[in-house]
Structures are given as C-alpha cells and as structure tokens.
Copies of this chain bind each other. A is one copy, B any other.
Amino acid sequence: MPVYQLGHVDNLRICVVMVGLPARGKSLIAQKIVRYLSWLSISTKCFSVGSYRRKESAQPPAQFFDPSNEDGLHIRGQAFEEAITDMLAWFNNSNGTVGILDASNTTRERRERVLKIMRENKIEPMFLESFCENDEMVRSNILDVNATSPDYKGLPSDVAINDMYEKIKYYERSYEPMELSNDSDLTFIKLVNVNSEIIINRIESYMESRIAYYVMNLHIRPRYIWLSRHGESQYNLEGKIGGDADLSERGFKYAQKLPDLVKQYIKDHEKLTVWTSTLKRTKQTAQYLTYPKKSWKALDELDAGSCDGLTYEEIAERFPEDFKARDDNKFEYRYRGGESYRDVIIRLEPIIMELENQENILIITHQAVLRCIYAYFMNVPQEESPWMSIPLHTLIRLEPRAYETLVTRIKADIPAVSTYKEKGTSKLGESSNPSKSMVGEVIATSSSADKK
C-alpha cells in the first residue's frame, strides 16, 4: 500500500482524451504521460484505438480512413467501442486513476460520445489536443510514425509517407479543432506546435494541473542526459552505506578522468550543466569539470535512517527483520527514520520536471537516486528499479528519442568495488575488474524500446 501519492485525491478518475490529426505526436505525448505518472505510482494506462483496429485490419491503405468507406467505418467504430470497454473495465477492476484514450477524436460528435460515456461512469474527461500546422513538424512526425508504427511495417518509406499524407487528408475533411468559443464547458488542454502555445480550459483538480504542467515542460529539441555515480568513496571501500565520506584514491582518479570522458562526446561550443547532490563525494567527483554547476539536496542518497553508516552485514545482524522486509519489497521498504525508493521518487519529481525542460545535463549522484532517474527515462517497472546494477566509474549517456531512449554506457577503466547487493544476501558483488577495455570505451548500448 502506498503511503501517499502526490496529487492522488481519493476516488478521482480521469480520462485523458487525445485529440488531433494523424502525425501530431499524440501517441508520443500519451506514452510520456503514462511513463511519468506510472513512475509517480499513479495507476495509468493508455488505450490505443489503433491497436484494437489492427486486430481486424493490420495494414489498411489510406482509403480505409475515407469517411465514405463503410467497412472502414464499421471496423474503426468497433475498435473504438472495444477500447472504451476495456478502459472502463480497467478503471473498475484495477483501480485505474488516469486512462488515456489514444485516438484522433477529431469530430465534435465523437468527443461528445466519449464525454457522455465518461460522465455516466463518473470519470472526469480531460481533452488533450495536439494541434500543429507547422509543415516541418508534421513531416518529421510522419517520418517517426512510419519508422515505428506497425501500420507501415515492411513498406517502402516513400509509399508509406504518401499513404500517410492521404490518410491525413481524409481526417482533415471532418476535423473540428477544440475551441474556446465552442468548447468552453469542457476541460481541455490544447497544445499548438508541441508547446509553443498552450490553451488550458477549466482545469479543476490538482491531478489535471499536474498533467498540464508536465506537457508544458516537454520539448523536442535534441539533447543528452548524462548520469554518473560519484567516484568510489571511503565508505564504499569499507562496505558501509550512507554517510558523507570523501572519495577514495581511485574515486579521485575517476574525478580526474571525467572531464576527458565527457569531452569525447560534448563539443567545446556545446552547453552542459552539471548537477550534484549536496554530499562531498558527488562534489569531489565534479571538481575538475569546468561547466556551470548546481547542487541539489533532492539528489542526496536515499536516507538509510538508523542504518546510516552500517554495512549490509551489520544491518542483517542488528535488524534482521528489517533486512528481510527490505529484500521482500525493496521499493516500498522505508528504513527506520529514513526513506524508501518511493520516497526518493517523490522528492525527485521537481528534478524530472526541470530535466524535461532543460537541454544537456550531467547528473552526478548516488546509486539509489540514479536508479530512480534511470527508471524514469528507461521506463523500468517499479519493482525492478531498486535491483538494477549501475556500477561505479561508469558514465551513462541517455538520448531521449520520440519513442525510446537510447543509452550508452562508457566505462572509465578505473577499478572500483562493487556496491551491488543481490537479493537475499548481505554480501556485496565482486570487485569490478579493470578490464582490458580502452578508457572511455563504450561497453554497452541499448534502448528503452528493447524492453517492449
């Protein structure tokens, strides 16, 4: 049972109804909202009418979407009904909080139908329209959709692109954008050209304003987010957790090497800002970097309360029940007088919000905090995130893309102890061996989409 959820008012259920022509980034926005709210433990699910339609018609040509095509209309109508039925079942049976209806919903008639169903089921409808008249943005979205949508899998890209433009034309004929003049009684957010302009109408609950605030901070400018744990600390050497120890000798070596690692990727004219926690080991790790720096208390390590300064063996010995409880549910377990992973996520929320708004950032922080930030960008499920291995002396580069985040791990080739504790043991892992890899060698690349 969650102790509390930010903005989760009792029994409030919201259906975010996407609105917009094809290739306006609706699915992307829907997925980002799902990822963000899920990360905050708010039960959220996206219901894509397109996926239901694909069960009947996997790769229909543009003509399928011609409003005079009766077969097409019937299948699409059925897909809509199935998506709605499943969403209502999910709200009722799985205690859903925010359901997202990912469909074009371009006509007022269709939106009124959604409205009616939601109100009958005591679900607050919030319309979220992505409106875009910028040809360049639309074209870039079309390329994205063609590269990622199952509708175009295996088709030559010029065929797919033309088909997409034709499909859009069919939708344009009946498109009725949301307008303050006509829709003033509805709760809606209208994004114009991503978020260069936003219209917000009748936002009443805190949850709705949070969703609005989140989409307000999204941007599509390319950038990298760099993550690193602090260099090996004296406490790491002694196997102790928490504290505010100095770096070890090898930790200092990592700090000295960090500027070179970063410079391999960030050109001189590119901007970068370094964020650290308020603890010595992260500031010492950042000390040779010449970029602007900012230290955040919200980036401090998970507070181990009474266990601060102990080794895992000591914790197992002194607090055997707590030790087991933490293994059983590491995400929810709160150290006596300290924090749980859930607590850390809540305090990281402003960091994530600012990260969404910023461009290149390098974050030097601690194991648990880094796991939580990584989990957000890589969409790692809650129960897995506390068990991820994020070794010392490794720089991680995240590249957020439309439908995935690319990740590159760059090893510094400076040995360090392992701080990874396997479930059910009180022993730490093997010392991470300085392999024969080159300094700055990329040891792994992967993407958040791999997990799907």
Report A's interface with B, CB cutoff 8 A: 3-4, 6-7, 10, 180, 184, 192, 195-203, 205-206, 209, 212-213, 216-217, 242-244, 278, 292, 294-298, 303, 308, 334, 336-337, 339, 343, 346-347, 349-350, 353-354, 357-358
A4/B294 in contact, CB under 8 A: yes
Smallest CB-CB separation from A294: which chain B residue?
B4
A201/B201 in contact, CB under 8 A: no
CA separation between A206 and B350, bound complex, in Å? 10
6 cross-chain pairs, A with B, having the tightest CB-CB distances, nearest first: A198-B200, A213-B213, A206-B357, A197-B201, A4-B296, A209-B216
Apart from A205-B357, A206-B358, A243-B337: 10 A-B pairs, beta carbons within 8 A? A3-B295, A4-B297, A180-B192, A200-B216, A206-B353, A212-B213, A212-B216, A303-B303, A346-B350, A347-B347
CA separation between A216 and B337, bound complex, in Å? 35
B354/A206 in contact, CB under 8 A: yes
Q: Which residues of B contact A296 (CB under 8 A)?
A: 4
Q: Which residues of B contact A184 (CB under 8 A)?
A: 197
Q: Which residues of B contact A10 (CB under 8 A)?
A: 292, 294
Q: Which residues of B contact A334 (CB under 8 A)?
A: 278
B203/A200 in contact, CB under 8 A: no
Q: Which residues of B contact A217 (CB under 8 A)?
A: 206, 209
Copies in the complex: 2
B198/A203 in contact, CB under 8 A: yes
Q: Which residues of B contact A295 (CB under 8 A)?
A: 3-4
Q: Which residues of B contact A357 (CB under 8 A)?
A: 205-206, 209
B203/A195 in contact, CB under 8 A: yes
Q: Which of B278, B336, B346, B350 contacts A6 (CB 8 A)?
A: B350
CA separation between A346 and B205, bound complex, in Å? 22
Q: How far in angstroms is the closest Cβ of chain B from A130?
A: 15
Q: How far in angstroms is the closest Cβ of chain B from A438?
A: 35
Q: Which of B197, B209, B244 contacts A213 (CB 8 A)?
A: B209
CA separation between A104 and B379, bound complex, in Å? 47
Q: Which residues of B contact A6 (CB under 8 A)?
A: 350, 354
Smallest CB-CB separation from A338: which chain B residue?
B303
Q: List 7 A-B contacts (CB under 8 A).
A: A198-B201, A205-B357, A206-B353, A212-B216, A278-B334, A346-B350, A349-B350
A343/B297 in contact, CB under 8 A: yes
CA separation between A184 and B197, bound complex, in Å? 8
Q: Which residues of B contact A358 (CB under 8 A)?
A: 206
Q: How far in angstroms is the closest Cβ of chain B from A364?
A: 14
CA separation between A294 and B1, bound complex, in Å? 13
Q: Which of B209, B292, B308 contacts A337 (CB 8 A)?
A: B308
CA separation between A346 and B298, bound complex, in Å? 9
Q: How far in angstroms is the closest Cβ of chain B from A224?
A: 18
Q: Which residues of B contact A297 (CB under 8 A)?
A: 3-4, 339, 343, 346
Q: How far in angstroms is the closest Cβ of chain B from A384?
A: 22
Smallest CB-CB separation from A357: which chain B residue?
B206
A203/B216 in contact, CB under 8 A: yes
B201/A200 in contact, CB under 8 A: no
Q: How far in angstroms is the closest Cβ of chain B from A246?
A: 15
Smallest CB-CB separation from A216: which chain B residue?
B209
CA separation between A349 and B346, bound complex, in Å? 12
CA separation between A20 and B216, bound complex, in Å? 24
Q: Which residues of B contact A244 (CB under 8 A)?
A: 336-337
Smallest CB-CB separation from A296: which chain B residue?
B4
CA separation between A350 and B199, bound complex, in Å? 23
Q: Which residues of B contact A346 (CB under 8 A)?
A: 297-298, 350
Q: Which of B200, B205, B308 contacts A199 (CB 8 A)?
A: B200
